[in-house]
Amino acid sequence: MTQPPSAAVRLDHALDSVVAGRSPAVAAAAGAFDASLRQLVTLGGDLRGAMPVPVVAPRFEARLGARLALAAQPLDPLAWALRHPGRLIVTGAVGSAAVGVGITAFAVWRSARRAPPPAHRLLHR
């Protein structure tokens, strides 16, 4: 069973429609608000009318559109390596050294944990 939307949700929808260009009276009537909430919708309409629309130059819009289109493209995982081959060599060397140190540490730890061989083993030969 669905519950009817709360007054806050209805007010939010009414203010969204006012921002989209609908008349505050029509938006308030669609939400079936009481007098106090109608005043808030009317205030939202007055505020929208008082704030001027920012003027944006076409050049700015074109640059912003180009940047957004570039950001939306998927990244090539090998592009970084091709742009920085020196860093790739250093990264590989450091990674190889880290693996070597890790394997050596594991081998030392493993050999230190082994029980010493019995001393009497050589006596029976």
Report whether pLDDT(59) > 90.
Answer: yes
Report pLDDT digits (tens) over 36-54: 788 888 888 898 888 887 7
Q: Please, are residues 42 and 23 in contact by the beta-carbon 8 Å criterion? A: no
Report pLDDT digits (tens) over 74-124: 878 788 778 888 888 888 899 999 999 999 999 998 888 776 666 665 555
- Is 1 or 96 the better-scoring residue by pLDDT? 96
Question: pTM, whole model, 2 decimals?
Answer: 0.41
Q: Please, are residues 45 and 23 in contact by the beta-carbon 8 Å criterion? A: yes
**CA distances from residue 71 to 56, 67, 74, 81, 83 in whole angstroms, order as listed:** 21, 6, 8, 19, 18
Out of 2-11, 26-35, 40-49, 58-67, least confident range: 26-35
Q: Could you say which DSSP state residue 120 is in?
A: G
- Is 120 or 27 the better-scoring residue by pLDDT? 27
With CA atoms as reference, report the closest residue to 106 among 96, 98, 115: 98
